Amino acid sequence: MLTMPKCHDCGKFCRPVEWQMIYSGALPEPQEEIYKCAACVEKHGSFAPQPGIKPEYSCGKLPTTGATFPDGMTEEDDKEFNRQWNVERMTHNA
């Protein structure tokens, strides 16, 4: 079961907008993934990449616009497709 993550800065459960993977050890291994909410990013700024780790593996932004499904459609595209499909289905049955 998935749980809603907590913001690393304010501690509130949130829909995160940024993430950071914390690496540790002689051979760096992922230890923890932390998140920030939009309010904390605005107030405190973005995560900084961890030294010695490629920035794209260290931290980044999460998509904030509608959810994207595996086929590349957004939630809005999906709703529009379903609306049109239902209208076509009703006219074919008439």
Instruction: List pLDDT tens digits, range 22-72.
Output: 999 888 899 999 999 989 999 999 999 999 899 999 999 887 655 555 555
Dist. CA 42–CA 60, nearest whole Å = 15
Question: Is residue 42 helix, strand or coil?
Answer: helix
Whether 72 and 50 share a structural domain: no
**Cβ(59)–Cβ(33) below 8 Å:** no
Total domains in the chain come to 2
- Do 22 and 8 reside in the same domain of the chain? yes
- Residue in the block written with tokens 């291994």: 29
Higher-scoring residue by pLDDT: 67, 8: 8
Which range marks the domain in which residue 94 is found?
A: 65-94
Kindly state whether residues 31 and 51 are assigned to the same domain.
Answer: yes
CB 12 within 8 A of CB 37: yes
Q: What is the model's pTM?
A: 0.61
C-alpha–C-alpha distance, residues 16 and 34, integer Å: 9
What single letter denotes the amino acid at residue 47? F
